[in-house]
């Protein structure tokens, strides 16, 4: 169980890293920060540090809090409380220092893998009671509410509640896009073909008009016949013989567009050993015989069809 959890955590981190490097996220991050002046970060589920620390546009007051172990501890606890209570919907918290932050979940199918996080803001003009509360909280941490830290507090970004809620709503739409991209990335990774399948496809395509044996193709792919059959079928959804037949039939269908070629010529040219086998396989795959295919193309049965 512990190993499985560690693997899942690492998988989450890798996927979030891919999303963070995506053009979709980078473009949105730039526009969001330019429009709001706030930092936007994308973090994996298992992230135990302050989300915005060291980022451009980091809240100066929070940056100062991060330098003191006592105040940092308070900030990290607020961070953990927010993550613990974020489910399928965004969750907003106000820390003991009066600043508001929101986590918007990113999902892979039904599982949360990370969060969009926006920088800490005030949602109302601070009253005297707010200042007093911050001063007391800092005092508990052994920090005096004077000088640089007081100036930083006074410059905290102010976003009225209604405007802030609208920003969170927009981020929810963006989170849906990132969730869709995460599912797409995982699907593409899952469907990525093993190198032995790629080698086999390439060899078959180059030698499709020749006799192809399973043993020879497996050897070219670098695998035993048993292993090759198992991996090839899983990747393509077809048995080896059916796949080769499909490749040859696609070639044949293109050649049949030329009315000057006899069907028997096409059958042998693409690698079939008998006209009967070609006709039977063509109809099974495409739902019509080669002659019917040509009739449909030209509106009548061509002469010398066979």
Q: Are residues 24 and 155 both part of a single domain?
A: yes
Closest CA to 174 of 120, 110, 221, 105: 105
- Listed as ranges, residues in the chain with pLDDT below 50 are 1-3, 300-305
Rg of the chain in Å (alpha carbons)? 32
Q: Is residue 29 part of a domain?
A: yes
Q: Is residue 133 part of a domain?
A: yes
| DSSP codes joined into one string, 117-162 | EEEEEBSS---HHHHHHHHHHHHHTT--S-HHHHHHHHT--B--HH
pLDDT score of 284: 86
pLDDT score of 305: 47
Q: Are residues 105 and 249 both part of a single domain?
A: no
Q: Is the pTM of this model over 0.75?
A: no
Domain boundary among 131, 163, 191: 191
Q: Are residues 92 and 106 both part of a single domain?
A: yes
pLDDT score of 298: 52
Q: Is residue 207 part of a domain?
A: yes
Domain boundary among 141, 163, 191: 191
> Would you state the torsion angle of the CA atoms of residues 160, 86, 37, 24, taken in this order, to the nearest 10 degrees?
-130
CA angle 278, 283, 284 (to 5 degrees): 100
Cβ pair 71, 45 in contact under 8 A: no
Cβ pair 231, 201 in contact under 8 A: no
Q: Are residues 120 and 155 both part of a single domain?
A: yes
| DSSP codes joined into one string, 157-216 | -B--HHHHHHHHHHHHHHHHHHHHHHHHHHHHHHHPPPHHHHHHHHHHHHTTTS---HHH
Q: Is residue 165 part of a domain?
A: yes
Q: Which domain holds residue 259?
A: 195-298
Task: Specify whether the backbone of 142 is left (phi greater than 0), alpha (psi in -120 to 50) or beta.
Answer: left
Q: Is residue 156 part of a domain?
A: yes
Question: What CATH number did the domain enclosing 219 receive?
Answer: 1.10.10.60
Q: Are residues 263 and 177 both part of a single domain?
A: no
Domain boundary among 138, 166, 191: 191
Q: Is residue 305 part of a domain?
A: no
pLDDT score of 297: 59
Q: Is the dihedral of CA 96, 102, 106, 107 positive or negative?
A: positive
Q: Are residues 202 and 181 both part of a single domain?
A: no
Q: Where are the beta strands (DSSP E) in 13-131?
A: 40-44, 91-94, 100-108, 111-121
Q: Are residues 69 and 85 both part of a single domain?
A: yes
Cβ pair 177, 185 in contact under 8 A: no
Question: What CATH number did the domain enclosing 169 receive?
Answer: 3.30.450
Phi, psi of 124 (to 5 degrees): -155, 155
Cβ pair 46, 79 in contact under 8 A: no
Q: Is residue 304 part of a domain?
A: no
Both tokens of 295, joined, read 């009739």
pLDDT score of 304: 45
Maximum Cα–Cα distance for the chain, whole Å? 99
Q: Are residues 28 and 69 both part of a single domain?
A: yes
Q: Are residues 70 and 200 both part of a single domain?
A: no
> Would you state the torsion angle of the CA atoms of residues 176, 178, 184, 188, taken in this order, to the nearest 10 degrees?
-170
Q: Is residue 94 part of a domain?
A: yes
Tens digit of pLDDT for each residue in 178-201?
999 998 888 777 677 788 998 998
pLDDT score of 303: 45
Q: Are residues 153 and 34 both part of a single domain?
A: yes
pLDDT score of 2: 42
pLDDT score of 82: 79
Tell me the C-alpha distance between 135 and 94, whole Å.
Answer: 16
In total, how many domains does the chain have?
2
pLDDT score of 72: 87
Tell me the C-alpha distance between 182 and 278, whole Å.
Answer: 43
Q: Are residues 203 and 175 both part of a single domain?
A: no
Q: Are residues 199 and 176 both part of a single domain?
A: no
């Amino acid at each position: 169980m512990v190993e499985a959890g560690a693997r899942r955590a690492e998988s989450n981190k890798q996927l979030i890293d891919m999303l963070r490097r995506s053009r979709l996220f980078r473009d949105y991050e730039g526009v969001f920060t330019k429009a709001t002046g706030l930092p936007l970060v994308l973090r994996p589920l298992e992230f135990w540090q302050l989300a915005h620390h060291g980022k451009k546009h980091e809240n100066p007051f929070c940056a100062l809090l991060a330098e003191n172990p006592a105040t940092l501890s308070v900030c990290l606890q607020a961070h953990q409380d927010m993550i613990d209570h974020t489910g399928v919907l965004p969750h907003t918290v106000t820390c003991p220092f009066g600043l508001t932050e929101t986590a918007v979940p990113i999902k892979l199918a039904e599982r949360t893998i990370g969060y969009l996080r926006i920088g800490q803001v005030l949602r109302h003009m601070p009253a005297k009671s707010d200042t007093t509360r911050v001063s007391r909280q800092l005092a508990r941490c052994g920090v005096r509410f004077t000088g640089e830290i007081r100036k930083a507090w006074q410059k905290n970004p102010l976003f009225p509640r209604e405007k802030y809620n609208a920003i969170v709503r927009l981020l929810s739409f963006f989170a849906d896009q990132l969730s869709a991209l995460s599912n797409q990335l995982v699907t593409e990774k899952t469907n990525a073909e093993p190198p032995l399948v790629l080698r086999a496809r390439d060899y078959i395509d180059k030698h499709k008009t020749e006799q192809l044996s399973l043993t020879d193709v497996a050897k070219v792919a670098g695998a035993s016949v048993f292993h090759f059959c198992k991996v090839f079928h899983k990747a393509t959804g077809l048995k080896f013989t059916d796949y080769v037949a499909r490749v040859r039939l696609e070639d044949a269908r293109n050649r049949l567009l030329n009315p000057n070629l006899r069907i028997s010529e096409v059958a042998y040219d693409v690698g079939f050993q008998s006209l009967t086998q070609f006709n039977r396989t063509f109809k099974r795959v495409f739902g019509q015989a080669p002659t019917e295919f040509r009739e449909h193309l030209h509106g009548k049965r061509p002469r010398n069809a066979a």
